[in-house]
Amino acid sequence: MVKLIIFILISCNSYASTTISPIAGIDFSSDESKPNLVFIMKNGLVGKLPFHDLKTLFLLNEGTKNHKVFEINMDQDRLITGVRAMGETPPIQNNEIAFPVDRFTPSVLPDMQVATAVFDELNPKWRRRAECFNKAHVWVYEENQKRKLNLMKVFLFFTSKYIWDYNWNWWFHVSPYVMVSENNNITENVIDYTFMKGPTKMHDWTNYFIIPHTECPTVEKYSDYDQHQQESYCYLIKKSMYYWQPQDIENLEKTGAEKNSFLMDEVSAAYWQAF
């Protein structure tokens, strides 16, 4: 029953909304009875743009290429009712310094008792409708400051296939996870304080969100998700604690530069937006 209630909260928002955000991408419909899917970067929501609204589709598509920020109005069913271009975000700059992946070494906790202690002390005082990426960023930052832990994050990306088949609201979710030494093995345990009651094995965590409990392949690049929307219901991308939003993963693929430290402007924004 609890899981059903949480599913309704995730999948069936009952309020209209206005969001100012860049667009992460558009899934173009080939069926005129179905709208286009618009992936909103700021809050991870998926908006539905009527198939025949070609004017707005062109505006969003061209604006995405040109780094535009939009004001997007949606009704309670996530149908996009209005779009207005607001300005531009700075384009991604190529960076000649490519930090190797092995600069970051995740902490390995000695047992599940410590993992549970970490979970229990995560900051629970987030604002209503706080976004998952902001909460996750504050949690890993605070654990790094308190316990000197190098935590990992797992980004769960929902494909357009899953969004259509289950009328799903979101195109991604993200949470920290910890590496734990158990029975001579190292296990991955997600510490998703929003939806879980304690550290949760990776597969059990994805099963909570993926209704048919199908496997979510782990991939390396953002394009492995973005360009394979019909081949799986979901994908996982695992990154260090320094990665804040999906755009960071996309930028890594475009520039080759790893994030190897916290950017305090991002940490401050995460606190301001979520707590």
Between CA 16 and CA 82 the distance in angstroms is 12
31-87 pLDDT per residue, tens: 998 999 999 988 899 999 999 999 999 999 888 887 789 999 999 999 999 999 887
Domain 101-274: assigned CATH number = 3.10.620
Give the start-to-end residue ranges of the domains of the chain. Answer: 15-88, 101-274
**If you compute the radius of gyration of the chain from its CA atoms, what whole number of angstroms results?**
19
* Number of neighbouring beta carbons within 10 Å of residue 109: 24
Confidence of residue 89 (pLDDT cuts 50, 70, 90): low
Share of the chain above pLDDT 90, in %: 75
SS3 content of the chain, % helix, strand, coil (to 5): 35, 25, 40
3-state DSSP of 179-209: EEEECCEEEEEECCCCCCCCCEEHHHHHHHH
- Mean pLDDT of the region 110-118: 98
Q: Are 180 and 117 in contact (CB under 8 A)?
A: no
Between CA 233 and CA 165 the distance in angstroms is 9
The pLDDT score that the predictor gives to residue 103 is: 72
3-45 pLDDT per residue, tens: 433 443 444 344 578 989 889 889 999 899 899 999 998 889 9
- The tally of CA atoms less than 13 A away on the side-chain side of residue 58 is 4
Token output for 18: 């206005």
Token output for 198: 């304690």
Q: Which residues contact 93 (CB under 8 A, 6 or more apart)?
A: 255
Which of 206, 250, 244, 251 is closest to 226 using CA atoms? Answer: 250
pTM for the predicted model, two decimal places: 0.85
Name the DSSP class of 53.
-
Residue type, 208: Y
Q: Decide if pLDDT at 92 tops 60.
A: no
Which 3 state secondary structure label does DSSP give 174?
A: strand
Domain 15-88: assigned CATH number = 2.40.50.340
Which of 69, 81, 47, 49 is closest to 247 using CA atoms? Answer: 69
Tokens 């316990």 locate to 147
Token output for 27: 């899934």
Name the DSSP class of 210.
S
